[in-house]
């Protein structure tokens, strides 16, 4: 191990001081003679033009410009505002022998790759091999794609890789994936979603529901990065619970949605007849998104109050909720949900207020019950796909 380290340091020092020979736009080859499996220079798949990085149908969609997207949605561009990540540099190494793939991925990941993906090099051709889940095999020839944070010195990393693996060279291609390529992918996954009988969630631009569903309750959401798109079992569980209990704790009542995300639960409750809803989220972008979604559903500020807080600082929280809320709903994760139990106990009307929490796995239900048991009775839960929604009724034990 020590010898590799020394050689690695030496190679690195050498490369840093060597004069860079300007390389051809995209293909770079390190060191001397090619190694049979890794380089296979003769058999390269023609991935040489930097101007067209996403050749091939299986590589995903071509990059689209940001401006077009922003103008069809929120002019403030809520979508891209959250993308602190920036672009990534993607290194593609094609036609790697299947037996070497594991080692290559290990090395790249240990050298700072944030992600390493392996595909069939013959995908889309007649030599394609079909592998199924549980197969412990790899494809005969693989394409390896590694992503690095932008600004990373790819050449140095690849030089280290060549050295650690003990090969003569590795041929690779670098492309920069712009920030919003994958945002578009998320966008495109939004279609109207059936959450329950007569209950739908639709993305802003897809307002028409399938035949026969015109009378259904539909919550219109602006597709964005906040959670609560309706696809997740927990959103379905919570909305379903709200609808099943609409008579007792939604219609004409005050509902608090903690961890509101896109606002889907608060808005759903208002559409089901709640008199007033309050949404709280720790993420200011979620609060923004929830406000926008409320507008899309014709709900104004007087019906939906929104706060940006995490529940620890009382001054950020709504001031009119103590012992005044008919229904507290929270779809977050087990940690926050258990920590917020005392706060919800304060909010829920003693004796009648209901609580409904989710974002917890079915296995985490006992933890939730323990946290809420002091102030809430009749704690029951429903399960779907491994997720659970736990609900209970506020008893008369004084709140902390």
On the 0-12 / 13-18 / 19+ scale of CB atoms within 10 A, 339 is middle
∠ CA 383-387-393 to the nearest 5 degrees? Answer: 60
Using CB under 8 A as the binding rule, whether residue 334 contacts another protein is answered as yes
Using CB under 8 A as the binding rule, whether residue 1 contacts another protein is answered as yes
Structure tokens at 197: 């009988």
CA–CA separation, 226 and 110 (whole Å) = 32
Using CB under 8 A as the binding rule, whether residue 201 contacts another protein is answered as no
Q: Choose one: 18-26, 70-78, 180-188, 265-273; the region binding another protein (CB under 8 A).
A: 180-188
Binding flags for another protein, 362-381, as an x/- string (CB under 8 A):
--x-----------------
- Contact yes or no for 193/200 (Cβ under 8 A): yes
List 78, 94, 105, 218, residue binding another protein (CB under 8 A) = 105
Structure tokens at 150: 């932008």
User: Which residue, 20 or 137, is less far from another protein as judged by CB?
Assistant: 137
CA–CA separation, 193 and 249 (whole Å) = 25
CA–CA separation, 122 and 141 (whole Å) = 7
- List the interface residues with another protein, window 40-59 (CB under 8 A): 58-59
The CA-atom distances, in angstroms, between 272 and each of 29, 136, 229, 333, 344 are 63, 50, 18, 25, 22
∠ CA 377-381-384 to the nearest 5 degrees? Answer: 170
Binding flags for another protein, 128-167, as an x/- string (CB under 8 A):
--xxxx-x---------x-x-x------------------
Structure tokens at 140: 């005969």
Q: Choose one: 92-100, 123-131, 207-215, 249-257; the region binding another protein (CB under 8 A).
A: 123-131
The CA-atom distances, in angstroms, between 140 and each of 61, 124, 170, 248, 376 are 26, 14, 18, 61, 58
User: Which residue, 165 or 186, is less far from another protein as judged by CB?
Assistant: 186
Residue of 84, 82, 359 whose CA lies nearest to 223: 82
As measured in angstroms, the least distance from the Cβ of 100 to another protein is 15
User: Which residue, 81 or 246, is less far from another protein as judged by CB?
Assistant: 81
List 26, 74, 117, 339, residue binding another protein (CB under 8 A) = 117
Structure tokens at 31: 């060191």
As measured in angstroms, the least distance from the Cβ of 212 to another protein is 27
Structure tokens at 88: 């990534």
- Contact yes or no for 238/246 (Cβ under 8 A): no
As measured in angstroms, the least distance from the Cβ of 296 to another protein is 19
Kindly state the helix (H) or strand (E) to which residue 161 belongs, with its residue range. Answer: helix 154-165
CA 337 to chain centre: 20
As measured in angstroms, the least distance from the Cβ of 11 to another protein is 15
Using CB under 8 A as the binding rule, whether residue 206 contacts another protein is answered as no
Binding flags for another protein, 62-101, as an x/- string (CB under 8 A):
--------------------xxxxxxx-x-----------
As measured in angstroms, the least distance from the Cβ of 130 to another protein is 4
Using CB under 8 A as the binding rule, whether residue 307 contacts another protein is answered as no
CA–CA separation, 331 and 228 (whole Å) = 9
User: Which residue, 14 or 109, is less far from another protein as judged by CB?
Assistant: 109
Q: Collapsing DSSP states into helix, strand and coil, what is residue 277?
A: strand
Binding flags for another protein, 234-273, as an x/- string (CB under 8 A):
x---------------------------------------
As measured in angstroms, the least distance from the Cβ of 58 to another protein is 8
List 91, 157, 161, 183, residue binding another protein (CB under 8 A) = 183
**Residues making contact with another protein (CB under 8 A):** 1-2, 4-5, 58-60, 82-88, 90, 105, 109-110, 114-119, 123, 130-133, 135, 145, 147, 149, 177, 181-183, 185-186, 189, 225, 227, 229, 231-232, 234, 333-335, 359-361, 364, 387
């Amino acid at each position: 191990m020590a010898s590799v380290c020394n050689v690695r340091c030496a190679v690195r020092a050498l490369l840093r001081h060597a004069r860079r020979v300007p390389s051809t736009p995209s293909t770079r080859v390190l060191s001397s003679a090619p190694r049979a499996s890794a380089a296979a220079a003769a058999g390269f798949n023609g991935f040489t033009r930097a101007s067209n990085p996403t050749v091939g149908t299986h590589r995903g969609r071509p990059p689209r410009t940001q401006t077009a997207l922003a103008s069809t949605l929120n002019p403030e561009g809520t979508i891209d505002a959250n993308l602190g990540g920036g672009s990534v540099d993607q290194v593609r190494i094609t036609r790697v022998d299947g037996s070497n793939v594991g080692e290559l991925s290990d090395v790249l990941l240990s050298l700072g790759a944030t992600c390493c993906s392996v595909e069939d090099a013959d995908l889309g051709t007649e030599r394609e091999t079909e592998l199924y889940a549980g197969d412990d095999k790899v494809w005969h020839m693989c394409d390896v794609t590694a992503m690095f944070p932008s600004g990373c010195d790819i050449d140095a990393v690849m030089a280290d890789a060549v050295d650690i693996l003990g090969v003569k060279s590795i041929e690779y291609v670098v492309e920069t994936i712009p920030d919003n390529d994958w945002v578009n992918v998320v966008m495109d996954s939004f279609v109207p979603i059936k959450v329950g009988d007569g209950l739908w969630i639709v993305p802003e631009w897809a307002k028409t529901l399938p035949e026969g569903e015109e009378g259904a309750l539909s919550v219109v959401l602006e597709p964005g990065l906040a959670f609560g798109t309706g696809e997740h079992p927990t959103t379905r569980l919570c909305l379903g619970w709200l609808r099943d209990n609409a008579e007792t704790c939604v219609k004409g009542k005050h509902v608090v949605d903690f961890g509101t995300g896109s606002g889907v639960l608060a808005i759903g409750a208002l559409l089901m007849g709640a008199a007033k809803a309050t949404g709280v989220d720790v993420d200011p972008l979620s609060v923004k998104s929830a406000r926008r979604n409320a507008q899309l559903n014709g709900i104004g500020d007087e019906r939906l109050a929104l706060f940006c807080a995490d529940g620890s600082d009382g001054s950020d929280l709504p001031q009119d909720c103590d012992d005044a809320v008919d229904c507290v709903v929270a779809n977050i994760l087990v940690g926050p949900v258990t920590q917020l139990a005392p706060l919800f106990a304060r909010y829920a009307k003693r004796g009648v207020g209901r609580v409904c929490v989710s974002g917890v796995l079915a296995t985490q239900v006992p933890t939730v019950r323990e946290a809420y048991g002091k102030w809430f009775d009749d704690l029951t839960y429903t399960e779907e796909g491994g997720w659970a929604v736990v609900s209970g009724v506020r008893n008369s034990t004084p709140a902390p």
